[in-house]
Amino acid sequence: MQMARVIGDVVATRKDPSFDSIKLLLVQPIGADGRDAGRPLVAVDSVGAGVGEKVFVVRGKEAGLPWHPIEVPADAGIVGIIDHVHVPR
């Protein structure tokens, strides 16, 4: 899993039916220092995250597991909102 910042909303009317009522958010992966790391991607949201929040994102087929047994074709999913990060130095 990786840390990311929610940077936007994605609206899609025509989509795979299993996505109905699932929120799609644009997230920017970040490193331990909070800086952007890599390209933004689209993730399904199962925890009610919003723009500006720091979250953690699971990659791969597991991203669809929160909706089990519905098979959601997602490869990235927000599965937690980060309250605080402590990186000792």
Which chain residues interact with other proteins by CB under 8 A? 7-19, 24, 26, 39-43, 51-52, 60-61, 63-64, 71-76
**Smaller CB distance to other proteins: residue 30 or 87?**
30
49/86 with CB nearer other proteins? 49
Q: Write the single-letter amino acid at 31.
A: G
Minimum CB distance to other proteins smaller for 48 or for 88: 48
Report, in Å, the least distance between residue 1 CB and other proteins. 15
Output the smallest distance, CB 82 to other proteins, in A: 18
CA distances from 13 to 25, 26, 63 (A): 14, 16, 21
The sign of the dihedral angle between the CA atoms of 64, 85, 9, 40 is negative
Residue 9 C-beta: closest distance to other proteins, Å:
5
Give burial (CB, 10 Å; 0-12/13-18/19+) of 23: middle
76-81 and 54-59: which strand pairing? antiparallel
